[in-house]
């Protein structure tokens, strides 16, 4: 049914194509030949584009078909297992939102400008002005592009609570006087004020929500709607009001409107900001119900990252909304890569980044150009040279040098090719780049000889830039080399060499072939080493976009520092302020202060289900000790409760409708569900009550105040356990070494996995799976190569239709 329109479109395109060609042949009497030719040309040109589109469409359809075939081969048993895994995986990551800070705002400024950019300078100027305003609310705001920015206004809101009215008062200007937009300053233009018209700002507010309108609204947010005076507006202290203020100021200063979204994370904020385009705003309150309510019927296509193709693929699986995305998570875990699946799961749960990553290092730089058909080789070479020059200029502006040159060619049929070559040392000049690009181009020209390349686009790209670490490392090595005497050199030479190597081997490269958890382990080791060397938390590494990563790193660093038992210089991953040389304890206190108030509220609400019990409680005690430990606890907790205190209500419904049998829960959890665990205080509070409490207590407005007080009245008592108790075997471990402890937990965990694997009679494992066999074999000896049950053994995509599909092997 969904394809009816598409079919029509396709038919029409086919028709167009054929008509064009037939016209050419048959000729048409009585018509202007010139005109016909033109029409034919256009039709032909068009047909090439559409032809390519059709081709791409077919490819996508093929992908979908493959996917469906794979789906058909999934047994119900596999699905049940995946169901279990997908939930536990999620639990393993739940703490990722620990750093959740409410009050993120995505601002989308003047989208209409992108449509009409007649004057780029002005565009930039406006963008700057705008940005000046934004800095008042979050100096660390992240500008995504000229017309889009993310702000974290949490801090602003805290301060704003105590602001006098004057500071939130803005005068309405007419005309285009842009002289000042500071609050509270008098404008001596009475006549203008009298003529002033209210800004368009409140278009998005339904009439019944206007300040004087709705009694309910007035009741709860009495002071939070702007009071429109004769010539001024006083904005309230809430997030909504602050954002209205921002939009008001933008409109006043630039005469352009902006839309905004207020949400607990950037992903949601972005979706929100689209909700009331182009001149409105939308807020999702930072509590789980609000988020879930918003997410419920949200078409996945609305979410950044889900494009046309992904939409179509998921649609083929009957997934259109986020709810459906969540419901199908088990299936998706079997059909998609881990990365994709995590992304899906995050979307379906309304999770997103809560950190504004700094502008990461650029990965590549390129120049490309479209033109009318070019078939002469000489022209192509000279164009290539030109592009290389342009690129070299751009590179010079940023002082970049790279090792990989890529050319991009699009022929008149819109088929795109890229050809790359990586050299051993960095290049940056036009000549250097052209020397490489030329060869690539020549290869392509030669390949088609004697036919010329009929190009409509050419591009040149440089990547594999030498990063800061490389530079530092080089420096360090050189300095070390220069400084070290012969004696020292011979003594440390060996070690240095090894260290250098490891330093260059970043986690991903290092463990490409390893399992997900192997990889994580490698990362940790790598980070430890790195931290050891630097003796400080690497700020850069903390500035990743993913709170999960950040927290993990933070933890790893802490873990390391704990081991080394030294006072160090820490940088708080939340506020990004350097904390000087303080003790770990003091640093933890600081991080707590940064995290606790809003984030705990946020976190708890995001994840506590009204039936959930103890899972949240154990976070605080361990968050600064070991995240890897924490994962296991989460996992274990999930296992223990056998999905009953499940992640959210969707899960709950499922569970209710289909009571879990031991079989569906799986051997591992069945085993563990019998165990008690001292680490988890069970039912130490009534979650229902907690939920109500936090719901009524916490809103953006009073987040700030709650943060300033140390105790959180509605928080359940948090049991702090310093002894390391294995969450699996429930035995206190006589070690304070977290590495050892983690090893122990791994072994405990893998007992379960091994059992499970046995149950699945792995005896007939194909030779392809030696990796798995080896790993599980080693598991019993050493914990360093363990895998958590239920995870893919490969970090890479589980290839559809591949006989090497790890899960196939597992379940065969």
Partner DNA sequence: GCGGATCAC
Partner DNA sequence: TATGGTGATCCGC
Binding site for DNA (CB under 7 A): 42, 45-46, 49-50, 56, 59-60, 63, 114, 144-145, 147-148, 270, 303-311, 336-340, 360, 362-370, 394, 403-404, 406, 416-422, 456-457, 459, 461, 463-464, 796-800, 802
Residue 582 beta carbon to DNA: minimum distance, rounded to whole angstroms? 33
Q: Which is nearer to DNA, 559 or 808 (CB)?
A: 808
Q: Single out the residue of 364, 332, 362 nearest to residue 345, CA to CA.
A: 332
Helices (H), 609-761: 618-623, 627-641, 649-657, 662-665, 667-673, 687-697, 700-708, 738-759
Rounded least distance, CB 143 to DNA, Å: 10
Least distance to DNA, CB of residue 248, Å: 23
CA-to-CA distance for 588 and 218, rounded, in angstroms?
41
Compute and round to an integer the Cα radius of gyration of the chain: 30
As beta bridge partners, residue 104 has 152, 263
- The helices-and-strands tally (H runs, E runs) of the chain is 35, 14
In the complex, what is the shortest distance from the CB of residue 790 to DNA, in angstroms, rounded to a whole number? 18
Nearer to DNA, 374 or 649 (CB): 374
Nearer to DNA, 80 or 419 (CB): 419
> Which residue number, 184 or 307, has a Cβ lying nearer to DNA?
307
Residue (363 or 682) nearer to DNA, CB: 363
Q: Which of 155, 316, 79 is nearest to 807 (CA)?
A: 79
| Cα distance between residue 556 and residue 137, in whole Å | 32
Is 303 in contact with 271 (CB distance < 8 Å)?
yes
Nearest Cα neighbor of 172 from 255, 281, 238, 111 is 255
**How many angstroms separate the Cα of 766 from the Cα of each of 317, 771, 772, 812?**
30, 11, 10, 10
Q: Which is nearer to DNA, 12 or 182 (CB)?
A: 12
The 10 Å CB-count burial string (b at 16+, else e) for 37-50 is eebbeebbeebbeb
Our CB check for DNA shows the closer of 184 and 318 to be 318
Which DSSP string do the residues of 408-442 spell out, in sequence order? EEEETT--EEEEEEEEEEEE-SHHHHHHHHHHHHH
Rounded-to-integer distance, Cα 334 and Cα 331, Å = 5
- Taking the complex as a whole, how short is the minimal distance between the CB of residue 340 and DNA, in angstroms? 4
In whole angstroms, the minimum distance from the beta carbon of 658 to DNA comes to 30
Cβ proximity to DNA, 139 vs 360, nearer residue: 360
Nearest approach, Cβ of residue 259 and DNA (Å): 13
Residue 421 Cβ vs DNA, minimum distance, rounded to whole Å: 5
- Are β-strands 104-109 and 258-263 bridged in parallel, bridged antiparallel, or unpaired? antiparallel
SS3 407: strand
Nearest CB to DNA, comparing residues 77 and 370: 370
Nearer to DNA, 308 or 682 (CB): 308
Core vs surface per residue 216-242: b (16+ CB within 10 A) or e: ebeeebeebbbebeebbbbbbbbbbbb
End-to-end CA separation in angstroms for the chain: 36
Half-sphere exposure of 602 (CA within 13 A, CB side): 31
Measured from the CB atom, the residue of 342 and 690 that comes closer to DNA is: 342
Pairing of strands 281-283, 258-263: parallel
Q: How far is the CB of 101 from DNA (least distance, A)?
A: 20
Least distance CB 312 / DNA (angstroms): 8
For residue 719, what is the DSSP state? Answer: P
Q: Which ranges of 74-97 does DSSP label H, i.e. alpha helix?
A: 76-93
Other C-beta atoms closer than 10 Å to the C-beta of 617 total 24
Residue closer to DNA by CB (options 369, 454) is 369
Q: How far is the CB of 519 from DNA (least distance, A)?
A: 13
Q: CB 506 → DNA: shortest distance, Å? A: 11
């Amino acid at each position: 049914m969904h394809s009816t329109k598409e079919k029509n479109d396709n038919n029409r395109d086919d028709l167009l194509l054929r008509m064009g060609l037939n016209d050419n042949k048959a000729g048409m009497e009585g018509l202007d030949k010139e005109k016909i030719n033109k029409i034919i040309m256009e039709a032909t040109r068009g047909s090439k584009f559409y032809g390519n589109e059709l081709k791409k469409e077919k490819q996508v359809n093929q992908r979908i078909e493959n996917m469906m075939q794979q789906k058909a081969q999934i047994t119900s048993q596999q699905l049940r297992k995946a169901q279990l895994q997908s939930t536990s995986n999620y639990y393993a990551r739940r703490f990722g939102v620990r750093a959740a800070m409410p009050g993120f705002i995505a601002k989308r400024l003047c989208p209409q400008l992108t449509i009409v950019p007649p004057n780029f300078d002005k565009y930039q100027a406006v963008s700057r002005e705008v940005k000046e305003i934004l800095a008042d609310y979050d100096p660390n705001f992240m500008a995504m592009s000229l017309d889009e920015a993310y702000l974290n206004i949490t801090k602003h809101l805290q301060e704003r609570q105590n602001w006098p009215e004057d500071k939130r008062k803005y005068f309405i200007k007419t005309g285009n006087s842009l002289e000042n937009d500071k609050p509270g300053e008098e404008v001596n233009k009475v006549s203008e004020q009298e003529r002033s018209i209210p800004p368009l700002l409140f278009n998005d507010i339904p009439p019944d929500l206007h300040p004087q309108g709705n009694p309910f609204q007035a009741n709860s947010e009495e002071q939070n709607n702007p009071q429109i005076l004769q010539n001024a507006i006083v904005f309230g202290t809430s997030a909504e009001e602050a954002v209205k203020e921002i939009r008001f100021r933008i409109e006043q200063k630039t005469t352009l409107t902006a839309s905004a979204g207020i949400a607990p994370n950037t992903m949601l904020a972005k979706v929100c900001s689209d909700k009331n385009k182009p001149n409105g705003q939308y807020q999702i309150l930072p509590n789980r119900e609000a988020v879930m309510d918003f997410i419920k019927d949200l078409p996945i296509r609305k979410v950044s990252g889900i494009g046309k193709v992904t939409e179509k693929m998921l649609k083929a699986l009957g997934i259109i909304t986020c709810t459906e995305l969540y419901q199908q998570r088990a299936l998706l875990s079997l059909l998609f890569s881990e990365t994709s699946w995590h992304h899906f799961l995050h979307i379906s749960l309304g999770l997103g980044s809560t950190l504004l990553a700094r502008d990461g290092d650029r990965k590549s730089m390129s120049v490309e150009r479209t033109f009318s058909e070019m078939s002469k080789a000489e022209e192509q070479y000279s164009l290539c040279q030109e592009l290389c020059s342009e690129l070299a200029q751009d590179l010079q502006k940023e002082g970049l040098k790279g090792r990989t040159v890529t050319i991009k060619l699009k022929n008149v049929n819109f088929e795109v090719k890229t050809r790359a070559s990586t050299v051993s040392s960095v290049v940056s000049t036009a000549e250097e780049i052209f020397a490489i690009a030329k060869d690539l181009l020549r290869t392509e020209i030669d390949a088609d000889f004697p036919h010329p390349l009929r190009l409509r686009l050419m591009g040149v790209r440089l990547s594999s830039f030498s990063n800061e670490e490389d530079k530092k490392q080089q420096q360090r090595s050189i300095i070390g080399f220069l400084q070290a005497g012969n004696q020292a050199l011979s003594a440390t030479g060996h070690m240095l060499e090894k260290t250098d190597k490891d330093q260059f081997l970043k986690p991903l490269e290092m463990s490409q072939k390893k399992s997900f958890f192997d990889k994580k382990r490698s990362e940790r080791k790598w980070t430890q080493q790195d931290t050891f060397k630097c003796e400080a938390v690497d700020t850069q590494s903390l500035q990743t976009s993913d709170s999960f990563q950040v927290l993990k790193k933070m933890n790893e660093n802490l873990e390391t520092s704990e081991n080394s038992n030294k006072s160090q210089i820490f940088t708080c991953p939340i506020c990004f302020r350097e904390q000087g040389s303080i003790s770990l304890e003091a640093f933890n206190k600081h991080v707590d202060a940064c995290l606790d108030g809003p984030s705990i509220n946020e976190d708890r609400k995001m994840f506590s289900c009204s039936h959930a019990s103890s899972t949240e409680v154990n976070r605080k005690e361990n968050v600064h000790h070991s995240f890897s430990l924490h994962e296991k606890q989460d996992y274990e907790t999930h296992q223990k409760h056998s999905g009953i205190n499940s992640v959210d209500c969707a899960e709950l419904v499922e569970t209710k409708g289909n009571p879990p049998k031991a079989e569906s829960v799986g051997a591992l959890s069945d085993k563990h569900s019998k165990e008690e665990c001292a680490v988890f205080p069970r039912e130490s509070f009534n979650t229902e009550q907690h939920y109500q409490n936090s719901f009524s207590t916490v809103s953006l407005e009073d987040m700030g105040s709650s943060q300033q007080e140390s105790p959180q009245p509605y928080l359940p008592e948090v049991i702090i356990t310093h002894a390391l108790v294995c969450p699996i075997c429930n035995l206190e471990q006589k070690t304070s070494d977290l590495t050892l402890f983690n090893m122990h937990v791994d072994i405990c965990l893998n007992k379960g996995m091994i059992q499970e694997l046995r149950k699945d009679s792995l005896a007939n494992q194909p030779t392809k799976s030696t990796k798995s066999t080896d790993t599980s074999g080693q598991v019993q000896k050493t914990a360093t190569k363990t895998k958590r049950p239920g995870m893919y053994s490969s970090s890479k995509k589980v290839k559809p239709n591949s006989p090497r599909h790890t899960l196939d092997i597992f379940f065969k």
